[in-house]
């Protein structure tokens, strides 16, 4: 009885995660700009992957496997925003600008040539 | 049920792979590569459920690490044009 309920919850979580990852892939194809594609490919995909990994951890064979799956989930949660930040920073410093931009505070920081570790 | 999840992951990986092939500029391809790496990591975890094997989890952990370093190095190389700065 309890096993059936846990299995149903796990499948619902995994289906939700698959929906988020499909939406993220469609957004990557349909969005017009690099920055909007980054937005689609990071937030929705991190959420979808976390849902799928939570469902898999509920359904794992032993607690060691569940702990390993949760370790992978924490690793994804920590590293995916870092890599996305690196890509966005590289695009901006390479010269690609977001097209309808009205306020751009980062341009002053880049132009002044401050150290890359200080906040503006 | 788990076949449906695997098919959904495969379809989303195919769509992201289309962006990787077609993508008009270099950072589009980098974004698509990062997306593909995360989708493949989750696919490996689901495959460990299918085959009841812990080996896939180790492979998924190493693959996630390698993909993170990979995307960082690609972004840095795209920014500077060289690696040693």
Q: Taking a C-beta distance cutoff of 8 angstroms, is the pair B32, A45 a contact?
A: no
Residue in chain A closest to B64 (alpha carbons) equals: A76
Nearest CA in chain A to B11: A22
A15 pLDDT higher than 90: yes
Other C-beta atoms lying within 10 Å of the C-beta of residue A23: 16
A117 belongs to a structural domain = no
How many distinct helices (H) and strands (E) make up chain A? 5, 0
Tokens for A81? Answer: 């925003």
Residue of B nearest to A72 (CA): B61
Is A28–B35 a contact, with Cβ atoms under 8 angstroms apart? yes
What percent of chain B stands above pLDDT 70? 95
Q: Is residue A119 in a domain?
A: no
A30–B contact, CB cutoff 8 A: no
CB contact under 8 A, B48 and A56: yes
Contact A35, A16 (CB under 8 A): no
A49 CB near a chain B CB, below 8 Å?
A: yes
Substitution target in A25, A31, A64 with the highest count of B β-carbons within 10 Å is A25
The answer to whether residue A119 scores a pLDDT higher than 90 is no
- The complex's ipTM works out to 0.87
| Digit-coded pLDDT (tens) for A39-81 | 888 888 899 999 999 999 998 888 999 999 999 999 999 999 9
Judged by a CB distance cut-off of 8 A, whether residue A37 touches chain B is: yes
Which pTM value belongs to this model? Answer: 0.87
- With respect to residue A46, please indicate whether it lies within any of the assigned structural domains: yes
Cβ neighbours of B32 in A, within 8 Å:
28, 41
Which residues of A are less than 8 Å from B35 in CB distance?
24-25, 28, 41, 45
Inter-chain residue contact B46 with A21, CB threshold 8 Å: no
Whose structure tokens read 């698509």? B32
- Domain containing A13 equals 2-112
The number of domains in chain A is: 1
How many cross-chain Cβ pairs, A to B, lie less than 8 Å apart?
Answer: 139
Contact B8 A21 (CB under 8 A): yes
The predicted-structure confidence for B22-51, as pLDDT tens digits, reads as follows 878 888 999 999 999 999 999 999 999 999
Residues 6+ apart with CB under 8 A from A22: B8, B11, B12, B15
């Amino acid at each position: 009885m309890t096993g059936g309920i846990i299995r149903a919850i796990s499948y619902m979580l995994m289906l939700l995660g698959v929906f988020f990852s499909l939406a993220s892939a469609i957004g990557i194809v349909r969005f017009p700009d690099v920055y909007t594609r980054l937005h689609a490919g990071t937030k929705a995909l991190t959420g979808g992957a976390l849902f799928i990994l939570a469902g898999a951890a509920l359904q794992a064979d032993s607690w060691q496997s569940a702990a390993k799956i949760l370790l992978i989930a924490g690793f994804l949660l920590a590293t995916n925003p870092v890599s996305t930040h690196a890509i966005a920073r590289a695009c901006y410093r390479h010269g690609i600008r977001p097209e309808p931009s009205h306020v751009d505070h980062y341009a002053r920081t880049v132009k002044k040539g401050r150290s890359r570790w200080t906040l503006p | 049920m788990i076949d449906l999840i695997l098919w959904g992951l495969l379809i989303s990986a195919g769509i992201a792979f289309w962006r990787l092939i077609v993508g008009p500029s270099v950072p589009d391809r980098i974004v698509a590569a990062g997306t593909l790496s995360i989708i493949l990591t989750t696919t490996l975890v689901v495959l460990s459920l299918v085959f009841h094997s812990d080996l896939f989890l180790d492979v998924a952990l190493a693959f996630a690490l390698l993909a993170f370093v990979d995307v960082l190095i690609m972004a840095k190389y795209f920014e500077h044009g060289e690696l040693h700065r």
